[in-house]
Structure 1
Amino acid sequence: MFFERYLRSPNSDDISRLLAMGSNRGFLGMLGSIDCMHWKWKNCPTTQKGMYFGHIHEPTIILEAVASQDLWIWHDFFGMPGSHNDINVLDRSFVISLLTQGRAPPVNYSINGNDYTMRYYLADGIYPQWATFVKIISFLQGNKQIYFAKAQESTRKDVERAFGVLQARFAIIQGPVRFWKMKIMEDIMMACIIIHNMIVYTMRYYLADGIYPQWATFVKIISFLQGNKQIYFAKAQESARKDVERAFGVLQARFAIIQGPVRFWKTKIMEDIMMACIIMHNMIVEDERNANGMDFNYDTISESLPPVSHERTP
């Protein structure tokens, strides 16, 4: 049950949302990024070490994966010996099997007035020159190619971020595996990926100030800034976090009863007053949006929150 829901190929609805995500990032027709991760095998049998010994100079097992911007892993292929490279893994993988068999859901998009039907994945330089892979430009000439290379590299980090988060969440795949049987290691990897996708599906986070706990559901300010990236993030986080403070200010400006000190004795009365003011505040906000011609339906806001739908379509 979990495999069919949390570790499956994208359906038509998923593809439309993935295409929208790619379009917002400047890559029309992109369904994600693809790469491989090596899992060290500590107890690899001596007779098989030559086959699993690769560029890491230790026996490893390879995981091939496709991930999207929200770190959802859409495809996995695990079990290839570490002596193989990404091309050898791709030759045995089923990531593009539906496409080659002509059974993949249709993808339609236009670039510069030209219509295309070929989906693609962002990949690094080792992957073959196929139309389904958009790779980095090796020798950059001109500002356009430099800009494209930067955009491709930054967007392609999605799958590497997914690998990093996967290993950070599950210590069993962060360190060398100590089992002997491949079937057990496959089950462990599949279970970790499924749980990872379940977390991605349910995860929401809120911007918060420094006093809040170090939970995954809070993105807090960085206390000690180092480098331009952290300075930029701190400024963006602080400016976006002001939304709730603005809401508090507008709420108090609209209702004088909560602007000054409360003079009641019973907590229940004060709770009722606060709830009534918040409800009327939200009614005013919704009415102002409608008056400005903005299509914003609060009844469906929970459905529009996830960037990608992971519900299975029958």
Structure 2
Amino acid sequence: MAAIFARHPRYVLGAGFLILCTFLLLAERQSSPFKPRYPAFPQSAGDTQSLSVRLSAAEETYQRVLKNRKGLIHKFGPTPDKIEMFPADVRPWPPYTVWDFFPAAFNCPHEVERIGALGDGGKWVCGLSRVATKPDCVVYSVGINHESSFEAEVLERTTGCQIWGYDFSVSQFGPEIPASLSYRTHFFPYGLSGSDRHGPDDEQKMYTLQTLMKMNGHTFIDILKIDIEAWEFDTLTSLIQAYHSQNLPLPFGQLQLEIHAWHKSFPEYLQFWEGLEKMGLRPFWTEPNLVYQNYNRGEAAALAEYSFINIMGNHDLLSSA
């Protein structure tokens, strides 16, 4: 080594310097781990700044998706009336379905987890912990169909949530709800619609969400679950028009919605979806209804589950107070 140093001192010093820099750089990386732009979850109940930062970043991401949607419409349209919901199997085939235009691109600023069954019946929820101990937590579940694993887990995981269930096709909640928790449930054989109306002989009573809330004395719903076999278009459009005309935010914190896109054109669907967005609803999770698709092979994949957070108003998902 001494001989090498004597012959090439500058080279040896240079090599030693590079080795020293490498060790220092590695040591710095180990002592200073990568810090993300914003934390995954609030650090404490009063960490309002990090929550607002995450909401702002999520909205920024979502706005980029809106621009990309316009680009995708132009690519395959170039106008909405030229877009097919589910293009036929022809060559060359357009590589899209309607769901590709409406991804669940908003990041829920709290934990996201599936509540209820892993199969049909379960729903993806944003921040159940935010209302877990809320004494006046309100949940509406519209569309029961003999399956209440979602409602049962909400009851088991919270201390103050009460659930109002509506479905004129059944007479009660599903069997999953334990008797010990049934006192926090309220079932009515009513349907949800865009207007109040009754069928023949006063059957199949249909009410708007506003009417149901007034009947129950509610002004806000923490979690709203809707599965009403395509009635969601009429129901939510009327609801949006009513609240938008009064310049009021929608009266719920989040929405779990199964969308039935049967017989809808792309312009009709786009108008419906943009109405949801206009009122502050942002999708944070989606999945196709593969159970329906499995038993109806050959049909278009026209059913999809979406979960939305409402970014307007003042509620537990938006505030750390």
Length-normalised TM-score, structure 1: 0.21
Structure having the larger proportion of residues in helix: 1
Length-normalised TM-score, structure 2: 0.20
Structure having the larger proportion of residues in strand: 2
Structure with the greater relative contact order (CA < 8 A, sep ≥ 6): 1 or 2? 1
